[in-house]
Amino acid sequence: MSIVHPVILCGGSGARLWPMSRKSYPKQFCALIDDDSLYQATIKRVSGDGFAPPIIVTAAPFRFIAADQLACLRIAASQILIEPEGRNTAPAVLAAAYWLARDDEDALMLVTPADHVLMDQGTWQQAIEEAQPLALAGDLVLISPQDAKIGNGLLLAKVSTLLHAFQTHAPNLIEIVGAAVANAQHDLDFHRLASAFWTDLPYLTVEDAILAKANNIRRITVADAWVDADYWTDIPALGDADPAGNICTERTDAIDCTGSLLRSEAQGQHLIGIGLEDIIAVAMPDAVLVAHRSRSADVGRAVERLMAQHVPQATLYPREHRPWGWYESIAIGERFQVKRIMVKPGGSISLQSHTHRAEHWIIVAGTARVSIDDEVRLVTENQSVYVPLGAVHRLENPGKLPVMLIEVQTGAYLGEDDIIRYADIYARG
């Protein structure tokens, strides 16, 4: 069989799986089912014999998350393309097609979302193999579960077939997306599609752009091969329910409950349900969702209400991911904040200073190289360092193990925008 070039779309926000999925860390990067995120599971699915390295299409805020989760699998991408702004799936698919066309217009391109949860690998693989001769013959092949919407499936086609379909049915995208790809800028391990062109694009799905209009559509339906993780009601069907139909994760217990989902995502927090019937209860360190199963589709409305009230939990994840690692707030009060910080091996916080706060760092694991003004020294476990207000400083991890530290901030203003950045290996402004 021919080599298939996977294109993984992972730029969505996933508000309907709040509070676990949020704008700053959406569902595709969450470990909803097991230790792998949905994105990582998708990458594994399209790796190995018969598949070329994948092209990842994502948004700028997620570029380091996508790259880091890819690196954790020890799988290399063909390319990570960065969309300047979300314009739905049609521009993203067309951009990937143009990218592949530079080397081979007859390459087979498989478009897959990053949020499918596979139920049957064998059925999924068989469907891909069945679709290949049709795609090579010039068809746009849709692979989807029975009774699913077009947008919930996979799309397999030759690059030339896709480009012809866009030229015929969505010619307004051709020149703009082509220019955005042709003028893409290399940035570290990514390619940024040119924003000067991209912002002129309409918000358009690939279904509306070409699939609803083309006459060379072939459809392959598969039974129970995967589900879309769109709502919390999609999740219980994937786990092992107890005799009463409850799905309970670690740190939860159901007493006299039926048909309920109990999920706790915080260490040291235990969730107990008593007498619940058809209830979804999801506990995060900073937010809790309790809803009837029949109202699962209304979770997005709750997020909209929180956003209107400017509640940070509407969009911000309790653990903030950065290219060098992550941090999370442990405690905050008047004129102080305590954070737990992880800096991955080879990671480096930017060379920076603060106008309104001083910092105390206590290393609890690993060895850090700390620069404060003109002094550079190694700081290891059980040692601490003080960063005075206004001092130019940086923390790096030169070792092979993660550095874990507790940071205590003190000052009149503790916002994340109190940073003067002088140098950054990740090319952030």
Report mean pLDDT in 10-residue bins for the chain, 429 residues.
Answer: 92 88 94 92 94 96 92 92 93 97 95 90 92 97 79 91 97 95 91 90 94 95 84 77 92 96 92 98 96 95 96 92 92 95 96 97 98 97 96 97 98 93 86
Q: Tell me what pLDDT residue 236 has.
A: 64
Note the pLDDT of residue 422.
95
The pLDDT, as a whole number, for residue 396 is 98
User: What burial class does residue 398 get, using C-beta atoms within 10 Å of its C-beta: 0-12 exposed, 13-18 middle, 19+ buried?
Assistant: middle
- The pLDDT value recorded for residue 150 is 61
Q: Which residues contact 141 (CB under 8 A, 6 or more apart)?
A: 131, 134, 135, 155, 156, 157, 218, 219, 220
Comparing CA positions, the residue from 256, 13, 221, 5 lying closest to residue 114 is 13
Residue recorded with tokens 């072939």: 218
Q: Which residue, 344, 353, 351, is CA-closest to 324?
A: 344
Query: Which of 416, 282, 296, 426 is CA-nearest to residue 357?
Result: 416
pTM: 0.91
The pLDDT value recorded for residue 403 is: 98
Q: b/e string for 159-177 if b means 16 or more Cβ within 10 A? A: bbbbbbbbeeebeebeebb
Domains of the chain: 4-228 (3.90.550.10), 232-308 (no CATH), 323-423 (2.60.120.10)
In terms of Cα–Cα distance, which of 6, 16, 15 is closest to 39?
6
pLDDT of residue 151: 64
What is the pLDDT, as a whole number, of residue 224? 76
pLDDT given for residue 117 in this prediction: 87
CB 5 within 8 A of CB 13: no
How do strand 185-187 and strand 190-192 relate by DSSP bridges? antiparallel
CA distance 232 to 211: 29
56 vs 75: CA distance, rounded Å = 12
Which residues make beta-bridge pairs with 357?
A: 411
